[in-house]
Structure 1
Amino acid sequence: MATIQEVAEAFSRHRFSEVYPFLHPEVTWTLVGAAKLVGQEQVVQACENALAELARSTTQFLRFKTIANADSVAVHSVARYVDAKWQSSFVSSCDLYEFTQGHLTSITSYTAEVDPDTIA
């Protein structure tokens, strides 16, 4: 069985299918400033939509740091996305995960496109 840290890291690395078995039926995913998804069905659909978009690009993680305790995990990452036309974008994100009895119950995601020259 995967640890909560492994589940959270898989989600932050866009390996969503690995996370689906751990989603609580009433999971919430708050995309700060954009949307709040409620329930396994909405979260899985959003993940599948994201995977379809990601299939048109490559992803390179430049930073990936995790902090975990007994029932929560925080993942901070900076990723470089390159599309088919070789155009790059850099995104910094912080995902906060909450678990109850091994089930992922809450995700809060903060994301911002960043200037690559500001990445330390």
Structure 2
Amino acid sequence: MTKTEIAKAFSSGKFEKTNKFISENAVWTVVEEDTFIGKQAIIDNCEQVRNYFQSVTTDFKTLNIIAEGNKVVISGTAEFSREKKRVSFVSACDVYEFDDNNQIQNITFYCIQKAKND
């Protein structure tokens, strides 16, 4: 997989495709929420997120992908619904930093959740 393919898969919740591309000392920062340090901590969090995704219908839309050198930036939206009712809507910008072996070193997620009354 290319760096862009890895980043796009991770951003769209296809974590199982990306596990082998996460370096042992990678860091995943969800700005203003949490930080996961190390490959296992990232994989463990991906499992929790995957469980949530299985409890809702997801609609991911990729709006932009910018790739240069060892960095890939993906912006998009995610809508989560259950029983045809919106549970949440998020606008996101995900920044990936890779090493020269296509291994993820850093992930930074900027997520803005739409207010419930919007």
Partner in structure 1 of residue 57 of structure 2: 58
Query: 1:111 maps to which residue?
Result: 111
Provide the alpha-carbon RMSD of the alignment. 1.6
Query: Displacement, 1:114?
Result: 2.0
- SS in structure 1 at match of 2:7: helix
Q: Which amino acid aligns with 2:104?
A: L
Shift of 1:65: 1.6
The residue number in structure 1 matching 2:4 is: 5
The one-letter amino acid of 1:77's match is G
| Structure 1 segment 1-120 matched on structure 2, within 5 A | 2-83=1-82, 85-88=83-86, 89-101=88-100, 102-114=102-114
For the residue of structure 2 that corresponds to 1:10, the secondary structure is: helix
User: How many residues are aligned here?
Assistant: 115
CA distance in 2, matches of 1:86, 1:95: 27
| Partner Cα distance (2:106, 2:26) in 1 | 5
CA-to-partner distance for each residue in 1:1-54, whole Å, 9 max, x for gaps? x11000000000100010001000000000100111100010000000000011
Determine the C-alpha separation between the residues in 1 that align with 2:73 and 2:31. 15
- In 2, the alpha carbon distance for the partners of 1:72 and 1:62 equals 20
- Please report how far the alpha carbon of residue 81 of structure 1 lies from its aligned counterpart in structure 2 after TM superposition: 0.9
Deviations 1:69-95, CA, capped at 9 Å, x for gaps: 110000001121112x33212110110
Q: TM-score, normalised by structure 2?
A: 0.91
SS of equivalent residue, structure 1 residue 14: coil
Question: Residue 62 of structure 2 contacts residue 74 of structure 2 at CA under 8 Å; is this kept in 1?
Answer: no
Residue type of the alignment partner of 1:105: Q
Alignment gaps of 5+ in structure 1: none
Distance 1:63 1:49 in 2: 22
In the TM superposition, what is the alpha-carbon distance from 1:58 to its structure 2 partner? Answer: 1.0
Letter in 1 for 2:27: T
